[in-house]
Amino acid sequence: MDEHTIHDDDKDRDALAGLSSVPPPQRKIHSYSQQLRANSAYKRHRHVRKHSLDEISKPPDYFNDESSDDEFFNHSTSNNAPNASGSCATVDDSQTFQPFHPLPEFIGSGGGTGIFKVPMRATVHPRRPPCLELRPHPLRETQVGKFLRNIACTDTQLWAGQESGVRFWRFEDAYQPGFGSKVRRGDEDAAPFQESANTPPTICLLVDGGNKLVWSGHKDGKIRSWKMDLPTDDTTPFKEGLSWQAHRGSVLSIVMSSYGDLWSGGEGGVIKIWPWESIEKSLSLRPEEKHMAALLVERAFIDLRSQVTVNGNCNLSSSDIKYLVSDHVRAKVWCVQPLSFSLWDARTKDLLKVFNIDGQIENRVDIPSQDQQGVVEDEVKVKVVSGTKKEKSGGFLQRSRNAIMGAADAVRRVATRGAGAFAEDNKRTEALVLAPDGSIWSGCTNGLLVQWDGNGTRLQDVSHHPCAVQCFCVFGTRIYVGYVSGMVQVMDLEGNLVAGWIAHNGPVIKLTTSNKYIFSLATHGGIRGWNVSSPGPIDGIFRQELSEKEHIYSRQDNIRMLVGTWNVGQGRASQESLMSWLGSVASDVGIVVVGLQEVEMGAGFLAMSAAKETVGLEGSSIGHWWLDTIGKALDENTTFERMGSRQLAGLLISLWVRKNLRMHVGDIDAAAVPCGFGRAIGNKGGVGLRIRVHDRLICFVNCHLAAHLEAVNRRNADFDHIFRNMAFTRSSNLLNNAAAGASASVQTARVNNPAGANTEETKLDLAEADMVVFCGDFNYRLFGISYDEARDFVSQRCFDWLREKDQLRAEMKAGKVFQGMHEAIIRFPPTYKFERHRPGLAGYDSGEKKRIPAWCDRVIYRDNRAGPTGECSLECPIVSSIIL
């Protein structure tokens, strides 16, 4: 409860004399309101006051052509009594309902720059090349068990490995309409594809053009083959060909050497080779001899790690083998581990060199003693140790050296697996590619790109983007780089940056090339194709043609949303009050969001919340009571479905979606930012929910800011802290990566923005959203006015005079808070602070403190809009309804 003493200010008694008058009349608005009660012990005040407001003019057009291709209509209201009242806002995004005209809005200053710059959304984005949407971004909930992990191209097909097998698209069908409701939810708009029978998760793919096969490595340790030229059959899943057990753990990488041998890397640094003779013989067997073929190739492997192990000590790191790259010209195979590389001879299977990420030789096997057979051709070559493994001279020293090196390597691995204990962790190798000029490029977690020559000598390093590198691909003289930020960059062979654009709103985890397109796979499962000539002059022609025909291939879905906020003052509302507040206005909305403050308070409760955050993640018993009670008012499970909620101490936000809209809404994420004592206590702060509706991100944030009349700067600081620190990305990426098997660096997508970096590329989560709605008890008051004056103006409904004394409006006008955001012109009485036994205007605090009435509870929003009319309409009911 926010309580303080307000004294009369004689200096400002004449401040209202020069206020401007009401704008010229345009149309009539009628607002219906009723007082709500949080405590069911008191009888609800049923008197309905009907007010005819002054006519107002239509506001100017504040929109530009570079905003969203969706249209969000926000209807804002506010009404607060800590123990008695609530407020709601209706955001109308629907063209299916009866048309209406926009109401005037107040727009805060300071928007459009920095973190407050609205992201650009358009069917044809002007800042990136036109692309082929092979698979539009699916909702995360539809991909459980079906997340894509990898993609690879043949001459005529795009193959994708997923959690339950593989699938492929034919390029000739890329522009064909999808199967709609005939396929699993999430792929309705994807181009037609064929899917395999269920298998364990696919981790890596390899195209074998010589045998017309696609090889896949799986989590169960098996390697499977799939025929490229499969007959067209959209109903029956196709089955695997030759398969065998390759590793005990997961198969993390596979590659075909210049001699036709199949190399595979697994967990624990295991590297195995299957000679081409055994594979060729197994493939020649008849289908009924499938078991014999698998047994034949399975027993023919060569374990390279065991060949460089001497007396139980191996000079190779036991880290997982992330990538294998074959240099066909030099007949070498690169083996990549997070912090080291090993270079192998593809013909002799000898270890040529082991070096770290800085290019320094890390360790090497010593030259055998003179008593051992064989002649060493190169000082860094490793000969296969003979079966006897007998040591002559220097045996004790050799064993001691191996033991020390093994212990040092184990200590380094343990330190590396720690939570960022060493700076080396930011230099982990995340991707590797062989360039057409024979050089090797590796990408690191810190965004560094390193060029190596064919012998493992470090040539140069460059950095064009401060985010983790995830993947590479090459086409001609161009090198394509995919980043965790969703950006794709193009370099020449010398490492000079040619172009770059944001390809996805999620990490780009794989790039592959065909003869016409560079395909990118995002962690959320979306696949886009970029013309190999892009960026170039032809992009402008494509963009113009697509813009002119936008109505043919695009659609606009509009939704009406209801946002309500209520400081309940630790009370509980009756079902009748909630029905009056939400039930009557939720009949024609698709999304309902409710934000509550002071659901539960007290020192013990706040301490428990700050210490464990179990309340924030699971919610308290009173919080669950509110969710269940509101759900009953909204006819939950019949008309609406609860999508998610988040509680932080006394703050609670929850979201419901109408059943017929549910299939278009998903990717729900929650976040919380405490702003109380030391930025750790949840009595003040914000809780938020983020959803994706028709491929647009919407964030709802419920706030309770600092109290007391004089604490304006603290309230401004609380908002800034919430806006900058509310992070949904961490929780959503953890879920995506756990399912999709993406790199661990994806979980730390946001990095500190170095000097000179493009801030647009590293936006905050709230800044990246297409629409952000703030609601709650902001605690901004009326200043420079006495209690009696405020009561007089309220009784005369002179709200335009009172608005001039509103702290929030003044701070927004100065660009200090809610920069660039919108709020409806307030046409209802102040909402702070009522007494239980005196509802309505007679119920303002008349005790000893005489707290001045103020608009504490507000609904403020920001969105990017570019609809047919370019207008956003805002309606202002005080509690439940509006009639225009």
Residue 380 has pLDDT above 60, yes or no: no
For 796-841, what is each residue's pLDDT tens digit? 888 888 888 889 999 999 999 999 999 888 888 887 766 554 444 4
Q: What percent of the chain has pLDDT over 70?
A: 71
Q: State what percent of residues in the chain have pLDDT above 90.
A: 38
Residue predicted with more confidence, 592 or 735: 592
List the beta bridge partners of residue 356.
340
Does the pLDDT value for residue 488 go beyond 90? Answer: yes
Residue 868 has pLDDT above 70, yes or no: no
Out of 158-162, 186-190, 815-819, pick the least confident. Answer: 186-190
The answer on pLDDT for 528 being more than 60 is yes
The predicted pLDDT at position 55 comes to 34
Which of 63 and 408 is assigned the larger pLDDT? 408
pTM: 0.76
Yes or no: say if 446 and 440 are a contact pair by the CB < 8 Å rule. no
pLDDT tens-place string over residues 98-118: 444 456 788 888 888 888 888
Between 617 and 753, residue with greater pLDDT: 617
Residues whose CB is less than 8 angstroms from the CB of residue 237 and which lie 6 or more positions away in sequence, other chains included: 165, 194, 195, 196, 197, 198
Cα separation, 79 vs 75, whole angstroms: 14
Is the pLDDT assigned to residue 412 strictly greater than 60? Answer: no
Q: Looking at per-residue confidence, does 758 or 497 come out higher?
A: 497
Q: pLDDT confidence of 606, banded at 50, 70, 90?
A: low
Mean of pLDDT values over 299-314: 83
Which pLDDT does position 598 carry in this prediction? 87
Question: What is the DSSP pairing of strand 105-107 with strand 131-135?
Answer: unpaired
Vertex 521 angle, CA 518 and 524, to 5°: 155
User: pLDDT at position 158, please?
Assistant: 95
Q: Which residues neighbour 617 within 8 Å (Cβ) at sequence distance 6 or greater?
A: none
Coil, strand or helix: which one is 581? Answer: helix
Place 739 in a pLDDT band, splitting at 50, 70 and 90.
very low
Predicted local confidence at residue 74, as pLDDT: 33
In terms of Cα–Cα distance, which of 840, 857, 710 is closest to 9? 710
Q: In which band, very low, low, confident or very high, does the pLDDT at 452 lie, cut at 50, 70 and 90? A: very high
The residue with greater pLDDT, 655 or 795, is 655
Residue 545 has pLDDT above 60, yes or no: yes
Would you say residue 50 has pLDDT above 50?
Answer: no
Q: Return the CA Rg of the chain.
A: 32
Stronger pLDDT, 868 or 736, i.e. the higher one: 736
| The pLDDT of residue 580 | 82
The rounded mean pLDDT for the chain is: 76
The residue assigned the tokens 């990490």 is: 507
For 745-778, b/e burial (b = at least 16 CB within 10 A) is bbbbbbbeeeeeeeeebbbbbbbbbbbbbbbbbb
Round to whole Å and give the CA distance between 766 and 773.
Answer: 10
